[in-house]
Structure 1
């Protein structure tokens, strides 16, 4: 419930007070379409057989001196643990998550039979997001209420990002944060940081090995 309320407040550009948030929350809970759509397809089964079978996504908060809280949206491929795409913005809104997803689809191409799993944040539960996924043929999976472990892999990535990098930095503004996220994710995490789940290789190395036909390196 707290995550939903916080998301509603962020979606309003931090302008809604208690009365408007309460009204929005009541309408949110009354939506039969949303309740019907909010299925947990993944069910903590993080095992995969190929790339673009299961993606997981989430948003995390990072502080900057000039722009205050900014938001990092990330999408991970569970097969390679690669962060396929990430996007940093000043607002935790629907545009942020859809733009991240568009970028990921552009990079990957073939998304036949894809499942994407997220928490129940209002951005992911929005009609715009669900309509976009339906148009692309993507099956949506949602964590159960109050079960962050349902999205453990991307939650763990964001925790690692903060422990290894963010907590040791002092970002001036949005642009310095974007630069820092690119450096950590694309140069370090995807390219060099090894993972036990993929045979102690980096995500990029693992994907390259698959392209060469050596799929059983783990």
Structure 2
């Protein structure tokens, strides 16, 4: 009977023309269902169910990355071997390092990187060559600095790819090695240039910019959406998944304008109401409060309830325009940094407590260890608590012939010990998170 009914159902005319669209819809629906199921499992009272959800998510992520690499390799494999670009000496060293870490044979390494086994074998035979044009190298030469200094800078960029030349120079200065930004730039070499864009109009300052003169003078507060997957796209109208859990979290953040210190964070399953935001701010301001609080004109803030709440606590609200200098742009830059350095570098948890813990770890690292451009390379905690900057301590000088009285890259401080010291880069990770490095120098 079922077979008869199935045979009687006609196919829609022209259905082969829509097969590719149907495939996209099926994959999007599967993604929707899987995320919803994982959200339930990640919050189960059964620890085994939570662990299975985490393992399933990690397994899928590995398979997606493998598919991404397969597509890239397939494109490169279509190019004739003699026409493929050559690996640079530094990249050859990275390949043999990965070979050692993975335990690959020469043949396996050659297969993974689309090269001949004889090529890998020649790299291994010549790995200890010391000539300037050696086949395998740790780094490129830089004026007057020893090789290990170049290696330290380049490895720091590998471990922390989001750091720019100024940030790297500031981090090393805090560790005791003072390098100029131009020196760091020469070591790293220029990144690929981007297509030219039209110059942006200069921001016009308003007449009512609120300036911060001391810690807790001005605070900024805003909300942002953090997807639990790589994005919120869907193949059906409105071409987006709902901005609610389990597909996304809503995160509220507060920063201090004067020190750029991250003051507090809260996580919500859906767009919070004004009451929920006020409850979060009430807990945050139980001991201290700002004179001004800057926010946008979202429904949580641009309402009588929020204005009355501020008035009862003696806080003056200021409502900024998007992109206006001295307005909410300060917090928007922080949110962009938070996503680039934290949420996009981890698998965003499906449990609220787990996500809040990850954000707290990032806030601790951001406040204590990350130098900030706006405050001259100091950390937010150093400015907020009035501590002496770590970059103002004595420095190490790796150049043996460098005169002790000669100036160094800013900030200029005396040399610790004698010139010509050798050192090595030591990484520690805040709370064991690889995206939260703590940079130190140790004697070699």
Tell me the TM-score normalised to structure 2 length.
Answer: 0.35
Name the CA distance, whole Å, in 2 between partners of 1:103 and 1:81.
20
Give 2:55's aligned residue: none
Give 1:61's aligned residue: 225
Task: Tell me the secondary structure at the aligned position of residue 198 of structure 1.
Answer: coil
Matches within 5 A, 1:94-173: 94-108=274-288, 111=290, 114-144=291-321, 147-149=322-324, 150-173=327-350
Task: Tell me the secondary structure at the aligned position of residue 106 of structure 1.
Answer: coil
Structure 1: tracts of 5 or more residues without a match: 1-40
Residues paired across the two proteins, number: 167
Q: Is the 8 A contact 1:87 1:96 kept in 2?
A: no
**Deviation of 1:44 (Å):** 4.2
* More relative contact order, 1 or 2 (CA 8 Å, 6+ apart): 1
CA gap of 1:84–1:74, structure 2 versus 1, over 3 A, is same
In the TM superposition, structure 1's runs of 4+ consecutive aligned residues that sit over 3 Å from their partners are 41-45
- The alignment status of 1:180 with 2:375, answered yes or no, reads no
Deviations 1:88-130 (A, max 9, x none): 1113222332123213312425x4xx11110110001122211
Name the CA distance, whole Å, in 2 between partners of 1:197 and 1:42.
22
Deviations 1:159-203 (A, max 9, x none): 001111111221231222111111111x21111111122231111
User: What value does the CA root-mean-square deviation take over the aligned residues?
Assistant: 2.5
Name the CA distance, whole Å, in 1 between partners of 2:213 and 2:360.
28
- The alignment status of 1:85 with 2:264, answered yes or no, reads yes
Task: Tell me the secondary structure at the aligned position of residue 358 of structure 2.
Answer: helix
Structure 2: tracts of 5 or more residues without a match: 1-205, 230-244, 393-410, 412-444
Higher strand proportion (structure 1 or 2): 1
Deviations 1:67-98 (A, max 9, x none): 22111111111111111111111132223321
- The alignment status of 1:190 with 2:370, answered yes or no, reads no
* The 10-residue stretch of structure 1 (196-205 or 99-108) with the greater mean CA deviation from structure 2: 99-108
CA gap of 1:100–1:42, structure 2 versus 1, over 3 A, is farther
Higher helix proportion (structure 1 or 2): 1
Task: Tell me the secondary structure at the aligned position of residue 122 of structure 1.
Answer: coil
Q: Which has the larger radius of gyration?
A: 2
Q: Is the 8 A contact 1:55 1:116 kept in 2?
A: yes
Give 1:9's aligned residue: none
Tell me the TM-score normalised to structure 1 length.
Answer: 0.68
**Deviation of 1:42 (Å):** 8.3
Task: Tell me the secondary structure at the aligned position of residue 71 of structure 1.
Answer: strand
Give 2:75's aligned residue: none
Deviations 1:122-146 (A, max 9, x none): 00112221111011111111123xx
Q: Is the 8 A contact 1:74 1:100 kept in 2?
A: no
